[in-house]
Each structure stands twice: as C-alpha cells, then as structure tokens.
A and B are shown apart, each in its own frame.
Chain A
Amino acid sequence: MITAEKVAFFVFAIPLVLTAAGVLWARSPVYAAMNLVAAFFFLAGIYVLLSAHLIAFMQILVYAGAVMVLFLFVIMLLSLGEARIGTEPKKAMQYLGVLGAVALASVLVSAIARVSDGGMRTVENTFGTVKAVGNVLFTEFLLPFEATSLLLLVAIVGAVVVAKERI
C-alpha cells in the first residue's frame, strides 16, 4: 500500500543515492563537495521521516554547514585543478576494491533480509525533540558528552599543530 510517508521516503532516498554516487563520479573535488552537501540535505530529510528532529537539524548545521565549509576551504587552499582527478590509469587493486565493496554489499543485504521487520513502534510526539534527546544526553550519556568536548578541543589543537608550518 502506498502511503504519503513511503512517497516521501523515495522523494528523499532516490536523490540521496544519486548525489552520493555523484561524489564518486564528479570530475573535480568542488563538484564532489557540492554533491556531498546535497546528499547531506536529503539525508536530513530521511532523518525527519524517522522523527529524529534534533539530529536532522544538526546534520544540516554541522555537516552541510561546518564540515563542508572546512572541505571547501581546503580545496580552495590547495587550488586543485580539474586535471588532478581521475586521469591516472586504474590499478588492479582498485578493481579488486570494487569487487570487495560488492561482496560487502551482498553480505549486508543478506543480513538485513534476516532482520525481523516488526514495524515501527508508535512513539509520542516528543520523540527525537531537543527536550527528549537532551534528557538522555545529560543523564545517561553525561560522561561521553563531556568527553566529546575534550575530543573536540584536542582535535582543534591537533589540527592547528599539524597544519601550521611554524607555531
């Protein structure tokens, strides 16, 4: 039976797969980055379908915003031309890599086929909102949450140390 929700799923899922594949097909890193931004937006739509409102918002804010700006800045900084990508001949290992990826896909599909498709549980309206996720985050996951702040601090300092020629 076709419901509006299923139609919405395909409205987001089909462009998501196309743009994700576009990351690999793109001729230059800038096109790949643009495809990735689009993929993140469509994935945020999928998250909303799963009523993960906060995570969908963070997906756009952190991924499509912060991380992709970082990528574009590095592409700009390195000034990589279009000639730098995909011109060298493919090696045998790369074809083997495709084979390995296909093998992994078949394993995943056979594993998913065994998942009991018991259907979604009905959840209350507050599921996935800032309040609900924050409640879990600041009680059950308080220590990992604080560790995350430490991780981000270390990552920032590490990025500066690695990227800067002279400190």
Chain B
Amino acid sequence: MVPVSWFLYLAAILFTIGLTGVLIKRNALIVMMSVELMLNAANLTFLAFARQAGTVSGHAIAFFVIAVAAAEAAVGLAIVIAIYRTRGSVNVDEVRALRE
C-alpha cells in the first residue's frame, strides 16, 4: 500500500511547478497551462485524502474542480484571443491598461 504522504508530496511538487510557471512565464498561454497544473495538484490532494478516509465525497469535489477548470480554460483562452487581437501579443507584462 502506498502511503498517503507520497501522493501529498507529489501534489506539492506539481503545485510548486505550476506556481513557478505562473510567476516566471510571460506567455499568457503557458501561464494558463501552469494554472491547470495547480488545479490538478489540488485534485490529487482531494483524491488522496478521499482514499485515506474511504469516502467518495472527495471524488465529487474533484469532479467540480474539473468542471470549473474547463470553464476557466474556455473563458481564459477567449480573453487571450481578445488581447492578442487588440495588442498583437500575448505577453502578460504588456497588459497593464488598468495599472496606468
């Protein structure tokens, strides 16, 4: 039997990789892929604890996370397309109209 902490460490590694991508990458598409990685790390944690506790409630939550991630990807990519159309770039540093 694989101990639950192994799954949690794996989720922590995945989340850290995703966070690093969000913080250092400047391409909006890569940033969104990193967000997907972070959501998957959260899912893995839910499923690991669901398996440890022996309840399927965690699976229902993981199901909702997948649905929200799909919605996020659809809306986020639409925004990326809109930004590319108006600015000709997907660099997140150049999108700062609200800051100036």
Contact = CB atoms under 8 A, between A and B. Distances in A.
Interface residues of A, number: 87
Contacts of A51: 51
Interface string B61-100: 0111011111111110111111011000011010000000
A38 interface: no
9 contacts: A5-B2, A9-B2, A46-B7, A63-B36, A84-B27, A117-B5, A148-B68, A151-B71, A155-B71
Contacts of A24: 17, 20-21, 24-25, 30, 34
Interface of A: 3, 5-6, 9, 13, 16-17, 20-21, 23-24, 29, 32-33, 36, 39-40, 43, 46-47, 49-52, 54-55, 58-59, 62-63, 66-67, 70-71, 74-75, 77-78, 80, 84-85, 88, 90-91, 94, 97-98, 100-102, 104-105, 108-109, 112-113, 115, 117-123, 127-128, 132-133, 135-137, 140-141, 144-145, 148, 151-152, 154-156, 158-160, 162-163, 165
